[in-house]
Amino acid sequence: MSTETTTNAALFARAQKVIPGGVNSPVRAFRAVGGTPRFITRAQGAYLFDAEGRRYIDYIGSWGPMILGHGHPAVLEAVHRAVDEGLSFGAPTEREVELAEEILSLVPSMDQLRLVSSGTEAAMSALRLARGATGRSKIIKFEGCYHGHADALLVKAGSGLATFGHPTSAGVPAEVVQHTLVLEYNNVAQLEEAFALHGASLACVMIEPIAGNMNFVRASVPFMRRLRELCSQHGALLVFDEVMSGFRVALGSAQSLYAKAIPGFEPDVSVFGKVIGGGMPLAAFGGKRAVMEQLAPLGPVYQAGTLSGNPVATACGLATLREIRKPGYFEALASSTRSLLEGLLAAARDSGVPMVGDCEGGMIGFFFADRLPQNYSEVMATDKERFNRFFHAMLDRGVYLAPAMYEAGFVSSAHTAQDIAATCRAAREAFA
Ligand SMILES: Cc1ncc(COP(=O)(O)O)c(C=O)c1O
């Protein structure tokens, strides 16, 4: 039981006895930045409160889902009502249909979708679907993009474009990743070469269109245009992993931004998570009817889930989507995020600290570097030691940033101008 004297350190020591590394997802352990993870007892609006009663302005938002901030009244009400009706039925509900309709109305590239419980599950299922629909095995992914921890996607580049990847985790057999080719993000020449070599056997290319797992790196418009052309020419499906960017960078997700820049642009399959569950375990993958009808029970591609479309999770997701589609929501969110980025960059500039950054909607990234990185190697070449010092200086001042320089940040609509100003003041102090 927690007591008034419980500390984060005491809880972490206790946690490490019963949970590997003391955490249920590795990045929470603060390994990249060092120090003791904060054990959170509650959250409200833009704030997290830890076991020692300290308050933090939260720029992680549960790694993306909490776009409305914590404890939004409309979401809580919907969840409470759903809980009263029943936790899980294992049978269809009207709310699943409503949520599917809501998502599809905002993402015109998809005719149908299927709900699952995590981004990992959605990406893994999308991959199987792409392979099943094309009858091909090989896939391309990009270094620095994370698509969850399915075996075939835990892979790093081989020694050249003719060789496929190597596992990045023990327990993943080399044979499982032998069909996965890993390319450099934003590298058009490499993409063309890979398609020239393997185009006829490629089931899909999976990409984070705005990558949030190497901090914040956008796929350039020329790169995305060429990727779309090559996939279409060679009959490979273009799979957008929008688990992070979905309903976060824009109401229509990252694909709506590329559609503005590239007329007629659409991915073939899209993967969502995080925001569509509003903080509950819920994710989805979807695409055109002909592809989606390959799934069981209609087609030969098997996919299933005991808790898929869970009634409490769908209530939470629906309530969240209904808030973010209100007129002006994204404009206000984007303007908060932009003012945070500008404030941080100004603080750095005034202190002579080299810093660059980018943002879109409610997603933000900054790097201690002179120019914006375009791929994973460039992200990894930015100043990690400075990031780690900055992270701790901000945490000490009550600002909770992602505890690793390769993670994006998230602003919610609960962050007020005062929160943003307080964050920028903390940054000035940290730089000083
Ligand atoms: C782009 C992307 N895809 C997939 C995943 C996996 O999602 P989950 O952690 O819900 O399994 C993540 C998680 O951060 C992600 O950012």
Residues of the chain above pLDDT 90, percent: 97
User: What value does the mean pLDDT take over residues 74-96?
Assistant: 98
For the CA of 241, the closest atom of ligand 1 is: 1
From 62, 185, 242, 243, give the residue whose CB has the most ligand 1 atoms within 8 Å, as the site to mutate.
Answer: 243
Asked if pLDDT for residue 3 goes beyond 60, the answer is no
For 31-66, how does the pLDDT look when each residue is reduced to its tens digit (9 = 90+)?
A: 999 999 999 999 999 999 999 999 999 999 999 999
Task: Count the neighbouring beta carbons within 10 Å of the beta carbon of residue 213.
Answer: 20
Instruction: Specify the pLDDT at position 14.
Output: 97
Residue closest to 160 by CA, chosen among 181, 186, 138: 181
For the CA of 119, the closest atom of ligand 1 is: 7
Instruction: Specify the pLDDT at position 418.
Output: 98
1 pLDDT band (50/70/90 cuts)?
Answer: low
From 117, 118, 127, 147, give the residue whose CB has the most ligand 1 atoms within 8 Å, as the site to mutate.
Answer: 147
Residue nearest to atom 3 of ligand 1 (CA): 147
Question: Catalytic residue among 58, 185, 268, 274, which?
Answer: 274
164 pLDDT band (50/70/90 cuts)?
Answer: confident
**What spacing in Å lies between the alpha carbon of 119 and ligand 1's midpoint?**
5
User: What value does the mean pLDDT take over residues 68-84?
Assistant: 98
121 pLDDT band (50/70/90 cuts)?
Answer: very high
For 402-412, how does the pLDDT look when each residue is reduced to its tens digit (9 = 90+)?
A: 999 999 999 99
Instruction: Specify the pLDDT at position 160.
Output: 75
264 pLDDT band (50/70/90 cuts)?
Answer: very high
Asked if pLDDT for residue 5 goes beyond 90, the answer is no
Instruction: Convert 113-158 into a string of H (helix), E (strand) and C (coil).
Output: EEEECCHHHHHHHHHHHHHHHHCCCEEEEECCCCCCCCHHHCEECC
User: What value does the mean pLDDT take over residues 368-388?
Assistant: 97
Taking the alpha carbons at both ends of the chain, their separation in whole angstroms is 40
Residue nearest to atom 16 of ligand 1 (CA): 244
**What spacing in Å lies between the alpha carbon of 243 and ligand 1's midpoint?**
6
**What spacing in Å lies between the alpha carbon of 121 and ligand 1's midpoint?**
9
Question: Catalytic residue among 47, 56, 146, 406, which?
Answer: 146
Instruction: Specify the pLDDT at position 165.
Output: 85
Q: Which two tokens stand for residue 35?
A: 């120090």
User: What value does the mean pLDDT take over residues 134-147?
Assistant: 97
Please report where in the chains the tokens 């039981």 appear, as a residue.
1
For 146-163, how does the pLDDT look when each residue is reduced to its tens digit (9 = 90+)?
A: 999 999 999 998 777 777
**What spacing in Å lies between the alpha carbon of 120 and ligand 1's midpoint?**
6
**What spacing in Å lies between the alpha carbon of 240 and ligand 1's midpoint?**
12
For 198-252, how does the pLDDT look when each residue is reduced to its tens digit (9 = 90+)?
A: 999 999 999 999 999 999 999 999 999 999 999 999 999 999 999 999 999 999 9
**What spacing in Å lies between the alpha carbon of 415 and ligand 1's midpoint?**
24
Instruction: Specify the pLDDT at position 157.
Output: 83
Element (H, E) at 286: strand 283-287
For the CA of 64, the closest atom of ligand 1 is: 14
Q: Which two tokens stand for residue 224?
A: 């995305």
For the CA of 245, the closest atom of ligand 1 is: 1
276 pLDDT band (50/70/90 cuts)?
Answer: very high
Could you confirm whether 383 is annotated as catalytic?
no
User: What value does the mean pLDDT take over residues 102-119?
Assistant: 98
For the CA of 121, the closest atom of ligand 1 is: 11
Phi first, then psi: what are they for 115, rounded to 5°? -90, 140
> Which residues contact residue 334 at a Cβ distance below 8 angstroms, ignoring those fewer than 6 apart?
359, 360, 361, 362
Pocket of ligand 1 (CB under 6 A): 63, 118-120, 123, 146-148, 208, 212-213, 241, 243-244, 273, 283
Q: What sign for the dihedral angle of Cα 127, 130, 133, 136? A: negative
If you average pLDDT over every residue of the chain, what do you get? Answer: 96
Question: Catalytic residue among 50, 58, 141, 241, which?
Answer: 241
Asked if pLDDT for residue 4 goes beyond 60, the answer is no
Could you confirm whether 146 is annotated as catalytic?
yes
The residue ranges of DSSP E strands in 202-275, in sequence order, are 202-207, 210-211, 217-218, 237-242, 269-272
From 62, 63, 115, 146, give the residue whose CB has the most ligand 1 atoms within 8 Å, as the site to mutate.
Answer: 146
